[in-house]
Amino acid sequence: MKLRQFHQAKWDEEVIFELGTKGERGIVVPPVEKAVADEIGDGISAVPEQLRRRTPPALPEISQMRVLKHYLRLSQHTLGADLNVDIGQGTCTVKYNPKINDALAASPKAAELHPLQDESTVQGALEIVHRTDLFLREISGLDRFSFQPASGSAAILAMASIIQAWHESRGEGKSRDEIITTIFSHPSDAAAAAVKGYKVVTIHQTEDGLPDMAALRRAVSERTAGLLITNPEDTGIYNPRIDEITRIVREAGGLCGYDQANANGILGVTRARDAGFDMCFFNLHKTFGTPHGCGGPGCGALGVVEKLADFLPVPLVDFDGRKYVLRHDLKNSIGKVRSFTGVFPVILKAYAWIMSLGERGLREVANVAVLNNNYILSQVRKIRGAGAPFAPGRHRIEQVRYSWETLAKETGVTSEDVTLRMADFGFHLWSSHHPFIVPEPFTIEPTESYSKDEIDEYLAALKRISDEAYEDPAKVKGAPYRSVVHRIDHAWFDDPAKWAITWRAYLKKHGSAKP
């Protein structure tokens, strides 16, 4: 397999404050009509003296083409999924985001809608939301979806809020003060529960990589409010006892929330309801093909069983048999977790994605994602220094958390070193593998979007770097060579006297000299 002679663009681009000259303009604001100015005057005189801005903001002054060029150069310094074989940001489900869906969302009929328009003027938008709700009911087996949470973490917060409101409605709000999660569930499953004031009980895994059932049985009590759990967890191992886990929590009086941020390997294969969950959510920006946008906007579509439907955030979109309406009158609603009804363009793109694939296509997505993943597993095992902890001999679902432990022991080359060297081949191998239980971790999640040839190319880069580590470890440790920048000095990031979160802070702390 040929490895490409990649080199990322390197413009040596300035920070934007170093560009432009006083007096340059990037865009001109329409002048107010003369008749308005004649009648009103300058407008500013009506503002009380103490509220007027005295010194203009020290924004740069740059002509339009230079602003454009600056940001285009920064875009070339960014490795979007459209440009690489983006399987190294495991857990993130970085897949193809169809261009047609972006084009549809850019239509003024979507982009220029105001969220408070009369319902009669947004029947198309509401129908899209409602139909997406119906689709997700089919996929999850649950009864009702809200699209208000703008991310997976926000959906977790909403689930914890529903757990809280449910127990409050039954007079047990104070006494049930614990939420159970597992160490391989997403950090937000613990963190968002804590935001709601819950004590978080974390179940660790046993040698097989799955949560310790005895520890779970010990953990449940009359203080248990609920469970927030991922399955498969970040190891990619499907937990066959998931229904036993939900039963144990349910019998203790808790509600069960399923973190399905990433459901890419199990669409149409197994459903939240069948595993005993009361709630689940899907990240539309993962499984359902909407772009990640450098980290949002996204949507954590939140589904619940019937008994929790009137706890959902408002408004919900309903069909009354004749027209689509926004419902605000939910008796036990937790209120809101975001403004308005949610991130509409993301819902629209997910709707179009599902419409393009249908039931057979969704199954095919899952099947091929799992096929690709297990193919990679079979190949990574052959790479010297790499391993796949837990569940020996078993298949995985959509991703695997691998380890460079052997490589690190034998060559001194760490997971971070490999990550930086991968950049030289035009690939991501990201570094976020929390919790760091697997030593020298790396996580690969191929999704359904990449061809076998592309996957082989990615694997060839891993193999090459392993070879380099054994032959010339210093080479790997000096990477990246063909990326935009070289090894970053972390000394400023954790020192309050030196960190600079803005350009003005940089100037104050480090003067105006170049680094």
Partner 1 sequence: MSDDKPFIHPYIPNSVPEVKERMLREIGVGSIDELYADIPERLRFRGRMDLPEPLTSEAALKRHVEGLLRRNRASSEVLSFLGGGCWPHYVPAVCDEINRRSEFLTAYAGEPYEDHGRFQALFEYESLMAELLDMDVVNVPTFDWCQAASTSVRMAGRITKRDEVLYADTIGPDRLQVMRNYCRGVMKLVPVRHDPATGLVDLADLAARITGRTAAVYFENPSYLGFLETEGRRIADLAHARGALCVVGVDPISLGVIAPPGHYGADIVCGDIQPLGVHMNYGGGQAGFISTRDEEKYVMEYPSRLFGIARTAVEGEWGFGDVAYDRTSFGVREKGKEFVGTAAALWGITAGVYLALMGPQGMAEVGQHILQKSQYAMNKLGALPRVRAPRFRAAHFKEFVVDYGGTGKTVAAVNEALLARGIFGGHDLGRDFPGLAGCALYCFTEVHSKDDIDALAAALGEVLR
- Binding to partner 1, residues 119-158 (CB under 8 A): 120-125, 127-128, 135, 138-139, 141, 150-154, 156-157
Least distance in angstroms from the C-beta of 429 to partner 1: 8
Q: How far apart are CA 1 and CA 160, in angstroms?
A: 48
Query: By CB under 8 A, is residue 1 in contact with partner 1?
Result: no
Query: By CB under 8 A, is residue 392 in contact with partner 1?
Result: no
Select 212 or 395, whichever has its Cβ closest to partner 1.
395
Q: What does the per-residue mask of binding to partner 1 show for 254-293, with x meaning CB under 8 A?
A: ------------x-xxxx--xx-------x-x---x-xxx
Q: What does the per-residue mask of binding to partner 1 show for 443-462, with x meaning CB under 8 A?
A: -----xxxxx----------
Number of shown-chain residues binding partner 1 (CB under 8 A):
224
Alpha helix positions (H), 141-186: 152-169
List residues bridging with 325 in a β-sheet.
Answer: 318
Q: What does the per-residue mask of binding to partner 1 show for 168-197, with x meaning CB under 8 A?
A: -----x-------------xx-xxxxxxxx
Least distance in angstroms from the C-beta of 45 to partner 1: 9
Q: How far apart are CA 513 and CA 108, in angstroms?
A: 46
Query: By CB under 8 A, is residue 21 in contact with partner 1?
Result: no
Q: b or e along 243-261 (b: 16 or more beta carbons within 10 Å of the residue's beta carbon)?
A: eebbebbbebbbbbbbbbb
Choices 66-74, 250-258, 403-411, 466-474; region in contact with partner 1 by CB under 8 A: 66-74
Q: Which of 247, 327, 395, 475 binds partner 1 (CB under 8 A)?
A: 395
Binders of partner 1 among residues 225 to 254 (CB under 8 A) are 237-238, 240, 242-243
63: DSSP letter? -
Select 44 or 214, whichever has its Cβ closest to partner 1.
44
* Backbone φ and ψ of 320, nearest 5°: -95, 15
* Residue 67, CA distances (Å) to 10, 73, 254, 392, 476 in order: 17, 10, 54, 53, 36
Q: b or e along 155-166 (b: 16 or more beta carbons within 10 Å of the residue's beta carbon)?
A: bbbbbbbbbbbb
Select 311 or 408, whichever has its Cβ closest to partner 1.
311
Annotate 174-215 with three-state secondary structure: CCCCEEEEECCCCHHHHHHHHHCCCEEEEECECCCCCECHHH
* SS3 state of residue 65: helix
- Asked if residues 160 and 166 have their Cβ atoms less than 8 Å apart, the reply is no
- Tokens 């757990």 found at: 163
Least distance in angstroms from the C-beta of 385 to partner 1: 21
Q: Which of 5, 56, 207, 331 binds partner 1 (CB under 8 A)?
A: 56
Q: What is the dihedral of CA 421, 424, 429, 434, to 10 degrees?
A: 50
Task: Round the CA-based radius of gyration of the chain to a whole number and report it.
Answer: 26
Least distance in angstroms from the C-beta of 432 to partner 1: 6
Q: How far apart are CA 363 and CA 350, in angstroms?
A: 16
- Asked if residues 428 and 84 have their Cβ atoms less than 8 Å apart, the reply is yes
Select 38 or 214, whichever has its Cβ closest to partner 1.
38
Q: Which of 142, 249, 301, 484 binds partner 1 (CB under 8 A)?
A: 484
Select 173 or 470, whichever has its Cβ closest to partner 1.
173
Binders of partner 1 among residues 319 to 378 (CB under 8 A) are 328, 334-346, 348, 351-352, 354-362, 364-365, 367-368, 370-372, 374-375, 377-378
Select 145 or 427, whichever has its Cβ closest to partner 1.
427
Q: What does the per-residue mask of binding to partner 1 show for 85-114, with x meaning CB under 8 A?
A: -x--x--x-xxxxx-x-xxxxxxxxxxxxx
Query: By CB under 8 A, is residue 2 in contact with partner 1?
Result: no
Going by C-alpha positions, the residue among 333, 202, 181 that lies closest to residue 257 is 181
